[in-house]
Chains A and B, each alone.
Chain A
């Protein structure tokens, strides 16, 4: 735990999920790397944005009579709410070193630290544990995030090592990386899960904080060079990209790149509680989860333009 700096052999991750079923074929283990260049409004993993370790607070778990965090953080965590549970002062950054240390001492795990450093070797050991399940199901390991390409040395080393272990690998990426980095790392994975969020550059900037020129260039590269290893994934966000206009624009982009199928990932709200716990603001509060008819309409729009969507 803590603020370890990544070097060639260490990466910063925030979660490792085994029995993961929707991040590539078969039964997989997904390693989530911390740090992301985008800030998609619908992001379900707000703990993935920064590369620094940061503190989450699950108020439900706090035990009022407990003073363990206060012993370390002192006045920083001396304020209590009406039920006697701690209040993290809004002005304190969640990456504050004292706060991070105090979180490490919380017995109830009401305070917890998101993000820890791991070496390539330790990661390989962890990720190989489910090998019998991978072998039986045609599964493997997926690197996701955050954005794995923000830690290119670690991701590349890990993909190489997993390949040498004979484990199938997938890279789940938003594609927002310098072309040379993108190409160098993505070619090491057996499968690229490429998140495609919007066709227009302006809306892309509005919804994710960045324009999409280099994303599209990277997508084009893989579509041309390794079409068999590419799987495009489209998040469907009602009211944002989930409109007739944007859907057809996206379908046209894919068609032009010679991509004839993609996965559709319906918007969900399962990450909202994390915003609260991390002291972040969730701005899509009024968006509702799409019903199946709406998704079918999207499928139809794509189909009319020659792209088959698979709803996940």
Chain B
């Protein structure tokens, strides 16, 4: 019996994680190693330097195997700790580290010793970080817009790319040894009389460095497990440790020979992405399908049974919660709750077009039922052909775990086609990346979260002739003052001009960062896991991959749609207020005119009510955003794609936007993702679904996201599960793309806010991820509370 088969021990380990996740440790070890490595390789090619840095880190970081673990490989020197990546950005950590223990959300414990180390190390990076380089490349326009809160690209400013779906099956299938041999063979055939021969040589040599570094890293665990086995009194654990040692001696260097090796190989391949790049959203994809051939053969050969396979998955699921990322204070507001996004995709259909559910799919749900922590996020890919038992099992989980989230394959495959990918690829590979973004395993290199774009700020500029009322300075083009507009369409086109203008500057900002990544942060390791680089001999940020795309998230969608509806209704249709008066009242944040504000709030037709005119306006704005993005290509020729998801950026961006015509007060949160505005009952549950289903989701290739918070009582018993299935199937048959549920009681939320100590393990879905309630800042908590309770008595 493995350690976690004992339910008491399982709960102990869960409690350990929950407690640690409230305030994980920030550690300086990696910062020290990478600093010494960069000093050693000064003057070498950036690709070489990244490979050498990874090698040094893997050789030197502290390693451990906890008593409950069946897999080996860790990010920080102890469970639930975050490393520092000074090469991404150093100044902000120096400035902010004293506040990490007490900031409103995403707290980190930073010991005095760590602070001392960081104060020694971080100044050495002055002028040398990705952040400084990226900002130095950024033209004045985007710099000003970023500062004004028009867009935010913090995610790509200080770390590697993340957000991709590594080609795990290649590593499981041929091992890093196989990849190494390919690199060696390629090196033999280079034409060194040509410039590109040198580029390729640098890349393939980096590949060799990395592959052997990972082999040696695994061997360190083999030795550790052996030495631990010597002192181990429990016979069963001794056997397990011997097993770990045996597995780590083989994989991921060799091809996996059975299920245990395949899981270890997958974990190690995955983990090294985080050790190397600090990017979030490295996706586990359709692991249940990737691992299934190994599972089947190991079950058949008697190497493992179902229960042992489950224990391995439980261990894997716990391990994903060790992966943490430090966000700066600013970014922590937009990415509240440590989102490191390691989603698993279950369900879907296979290459032959049949339901892809297998025994492992059920085991993944079983593992989630036991572990029930932040990570991994779980997606359920619904199709008309989905196994009803599996759908049942997945929906039963929602009441207790607020996972999985649900995706509609039929819309997802339309997105693939829109992005120029084949139906066959969509079938076998469809998986979401990070939150709701598309990506093909091992094929696409995505800047899926290149930037968050503040749609509501554009509205504010359209209301003020391009002047930002918050700062008083001109940001956008002169598109007219309120008194200039004689009909609604003129105002609508003013808004569209502001969006187009600001989006162009956002693309400039993103391009500067992509160039910075290309120059300063090549990712030779990740290049091994993406189609095209090994074949072309080109690192991924130099353009080696076969497919790229860049995604921008439009934030505040319903706020903008509702505001337009208010302007149309009050100013142009009813003429009950002049546009000038309305604009003046907004500038004054409705001071002395609460009556106007409640009129706007209560009498405005709102997105979420299923009315043709509202749906059509929403569709028009939605399409405009998608088309605007679709006009651009990233530095590698990849498509710009739009999405409507916001993580917690609707709170951060809301704080930069004054009062809006929908009756929203200045600086309060914007609407979240593609959901209707908060705070009012804008349509019933079924109306919201019907409205959402009418958006042309397939055009937002980077995904749309619908949050639904359901009262727990709604989901109780077989009736509740059946209701949820009916709701989801209806929504998807109507054409919806994604929905996720937060199962709560508003009273519970309020109580949890007042008495945090009573709710140490209150998990909540924030946007596309689940996190601990107590990790969220009060603003985000208030925001969640204010969302309309969906159950009416």
Contact surface of A with B, Cβ cutoff 8 Å: 17-19, 21, 26-27, 29, 44, 61, 63, 65-66, 68, 107-109, 129-130, 132-133, 135-137, 139, 268, 270
Write the chain A residue with the least CB distance to B600.
Answer: A107
B723-A27 in contact (CB<8A): yes
- Bound state CA distance, A133 and B723, in angstroms? 10
Q: Which A residue's beta carbon lies closest to that of B592? A: A65
Tell which of B374-382, B435-443, B519-527, B683-691 binds the partner: B683-691
Assess whether B726 is in contact with A63, with CB atoms less than 8 Å apart. no
Check A133/B686 contact, CB under 8 A, given A21-B723, A107-B603, A109-B602.
yes
Interface contact A107-B685, CB-CB below 8 Å: no
- Assess the A129–B685 pair: CB atoms within 8 A: no
Given contacts A21-B714, A26-B726, A133-B730, 7 further A-B contacts (CB under 8 A): A18-B684, A21-B719, A21-B723, A27-B730, A66-B594, A107-B602, A139-B726
Q: A132-B733, A136-B729, A136-B733 are in contact. Are A108 and B687 (CB under 8 A)?
A: no
Secondary structure at chain A's binding surface: helix, strand, loop or mixed? loop
Asked if A107 and B599 make an inter-chain contact with CB atoms under 8 angstroms apart, the answer reads yes
Rounded to whole Å, the gap between the CB of A230 and the closest CB of chain B is 20
Residue B722 at the chain A interface, CB threshold 8 Å: yes
The 4 tightest CB contacts between A and B, nearest first, are A137-B726, A19-B685, A136-B730, A18-B684
Cα distance A17–B791 in the bound complex, in angstroms: 11
**Shortest CB distance B736–A (Å):** 11
**CB of B598 closer than 8 Å to a CB of A:** yes
Pair A130/B726 contact, Cβ less than 8 Å: no
Shortest CB–CB separation between residue B437 and chain A, in angstroms? 28
Knowing A129-B610, A270-B793, the reply to whether A63 touches B686 (Cβ < 8 A) is no
Chain B 50-67 per-residue mask, 1 if CB under 8 angstroms from chain A, else 0: 000000000000000000
Whole-angstrom distance between the alpha carbons of A138 and B722 in the complex? 11
A132 contacts B730, C-beta separation under 8 Å = yes
Among candidates B598, B727, B790, residue contacting A63 with C-beta atoms closer than 8 Å: B598
B718 interfacial contact with A, CB 8 Å = no
- In the assembled complex, the Cα of A135 lies from the Cα of B730 at a distance in Å of 9
Q: Which of A63, A65, A68, A108 counts the most chain B CB atoms within 10 A?
A: A108
Report yes or no: A107 in contact with B723, Cβ–Cβ below 8 A. no
CA distance A29 to B598 in the complex (A): 29
CB distance from A194 to the nearest CB of B (A): 21
Structural contact, A68 and B595, CB atoms closer than 8 A: yes
Q: Is B758 an interface residue (CB 8 A)?
A: no
Sample 18 A-B pairs with CB under 8 A, ordered by A number: A17-B684, A18-B684, A19-B686, A19-B790, A19-B792, A27-B723, A27-B730, A29-B686, A61-B598, A65-B595, A107-B599, A109-B598, A129-B686, A129-B687, A137-B723, A137-B726, A137-B730, A139-B726
CA–CA, A188 and B408, complex, Å: 39
Could you tell me the distance between the alpha carbons of A27 and B719 in the complex, rounded to whole angstroms? 10
Whether B595 pairs with A27 at a CB distance below 8 angstroms is no
Q: Among the listed B595, B690, B726, which residue makes an inter-chain contact with A136, where contact means beta carbons less than 8 Å apart? A: B726
Knowing A107-B603, A132-B733, A133-B727 touch, does A18 contact B686 (C-beta < 8 A)?
yes
Asked if A18 meets B687 with Cβ closer than 8 Å, knowing A129-B610, A137-B723, the reply is yes
The interface residues of chain A lying within 8 Å CB-to-CB of B687 are: 18, 129
Instruction: Give Cα A38–Cα B603 distance, bound, in whole angstroms.
Output: 35
- With beta carbons under 8 angstroms apart, the residue of A27, A108, A135 that contacts B727 is A27
Closest to B596 in A: A107
Instruction: Please give, as numbers and ranges, the residues of chain B lying within 8 Å of A107 by CB-CB distance.
Output: 595, 598-599, 602-603
Within 8 Å of chain A (Cβ to Cβ): is B734? yes
| Residues of chain A within 8 A of B685, CB atoms compared | 18-19
Q: Which residues of B contact A21 (CB under 8 A)?
A: 714, 719, 723
| Residues on A with beta carbons closer than 8 Å to the beta carbon of B610 | 129
Q: How far is the CA of A139 from the CA of B729 in the complex (A)?
A: 14
The reply to whether B690 and A129 form a contact with Cβ atoms under 8 Å apart is yes
Q: Closest approach, in angstroms, between the C-beta of A269 and any C-beta of chain B?
A: 10
Interface readout for B674-714 with A: 1 if CB under 8 Å, 0 if not?
Answer: 00000000001111011000000000000000000000001
Distance in angstroms between the alpha carbons of A63 and B726 in the assembled complex: 42
Let me know if B598 and A108 touch, CB within 8 A. Answer: yes
Given the known interface contacts A66-B595, A107-B603, A136-B729, the answer about A130 and B723 at a Cβ–Cβ threshold of 8 Å is: no
Residues in B706-752 with C-beta less than 8 Å from chain A? 714, 719, 722-723, 726-727, 729-730, 733-734
Enumerate chain A residues within 8 angstroms of B686, measured Cβ to Cβ: 18-19, 27, 29, 129-130, 133
In angstroms, how far is the closest chain A Cβ from the Cβ of B419?
29
Can you name the residue of chain B whose Cβ is closest to the Cβ of A21? Answer: B723
B610, B722, B726 interface centre (most CB from chain A within 10 Å)? B726
A26 to B727, CA, bound (A): 10
Chain B residue nearest in CB terms to A63: B594
Chain B positions 575-604 with a Cβ under 8 Å from a chain A Cβ: 594-595, 598-599, 602-603
Chain B residue numbers with a CB within 8 Å of A29 are 686
- Closest-CB distance, B209 to chain A (whole angstroms): 56
Interface pair B595/A17, CB less than 8 Å apart: no
The minimal Cβ–Cβ distance linking B750 to chain A, given in whole angstroms, is 16
Give chain A residues whose Cβ lies under 8 Å from the Cβ of B723.
21, 26-27, 137
For B733, the chain A residues whose CB sits under 8 A away are 132, 136
A27: B residues at CB distance < 8 A: 686, 723, 726-727, 730
- B692–chain A nearest beta-carbon distance, Å: 13
In the assembled complex, which residues on chain B have CB atoms less than 8 Å from the CB atom of A270? 793
By a CB distance below 8 angstroms, the chain B residues around A108 are: 595, 598, 602
Do A17 and B730 have beta carbons less than 8 Å apart?
Answer: no
Nearest CB of B to A51, in Å:
23
Residues of chain B with a CB closer than 8 A to A130's CB: 686, 690
A65 contacts B730, C-beta separation under 8 Å: no
Chain B window 650-690, contacts with chain A (Cβ cutoff 8 Å), 1 for yes, 0 for no: 00000000000000000000000000000000001111011
Cβ–Cβ < 8 Å partners of A65 in chain B: 594-595
Nearest-CB distance from B731 to chain A (Å)?
9
Cα distance A152–B29 in the bound complex, in angstroms: 79
In the complex the two chains form, is B595's CB within 8 Å of A63's CB?
yes
Contacts of B790 in A (CB 8 A): 19
Complex-state Cα separation, A136 to B391, whole angstroms: 15
A165 to chain B, nearest CB (A): 17
Separation in Å of the A277 CB from the closest CB of chain B? 15
Residues of A within 8 A of B602 (CB): 107-109
A132–B686 CA distance with the chains assembled, in angstroms:
10
Known interface pairs A108-B598, A129-B610, A133-B686; A17-B792 also in contact (CB < 8 Å): yes
Chain B 567-581 against A: per-residue CB contact (8 Å), 1 yes, 0 no?
A: 000000000000000
Complex: A139 Cα to B722 Cα, angstroms? 12
- Complex CA–CA separation, A137 to B722 (angstroms): 8
Q: How far is the CA of A157 from the CA of B719 in the complex (A)?
A: 31
In the assembled complex, how far is the CB of residue A176 from the closest CB belonging to chain B, in whole angstroms? 24
Distance A19 CA – B689 CA, assembled complex (angstroms): 11
A201 to chain B, nearest CB (A): 31
* Minimum CB distance partner of B793 in chain A: A270
Alpha-carbon separation in the docked complex, A133 to B729 (Å)? 9
C-alpha spacing A129/B686, complex, angstroms: 9
Q: Which residues of the partner chain A approach B792 to less than 8 Å between Cβ atoms?
A: 17, 19
Q: Complex Cα distance A135/B733, Å?
A: 11
Within 8 Å CB of A268, what residues of B?
793
Contact with A along B765-793 (1 / 0, CB 8 A): 00000000000000000000000001011
Cα distance A63–B690 when bound, in Å? 34
In the bound assembly, the distance between CA atoms of A153 and B685 in angstroms comes to 31
What is the chain A residue whose CB lies nearest that of B598? A108
Closest to B713 in A: A21
Residues of A within 8 A of B722 (CB): 137
A26 CA / B603 CA spacing, docked (Å): 32
B683 nearest in chain A by CB position: A18
Measured CA separation A61–B734 after assembly (Å): 37
Which residues from chain B contact A17 at a C-beta distance below 8 Å?
Answer: 684, 792
- Whole-angstrom distance from the CB of A33 to the nearest CB of chain B? 18
Complex Cα–Cα for A66 and B599 (A): 11
A19-B686, A21-B714 known; A133+B599 contact, CB < 8 A: no
List CB contacts (< 8 Å) of B212-226 with chain A. none
Most buried by B among A44, A129, A133: A133
Q: How far is the CA of A130 from the CA of B687 in the complex (A)?
A: 8
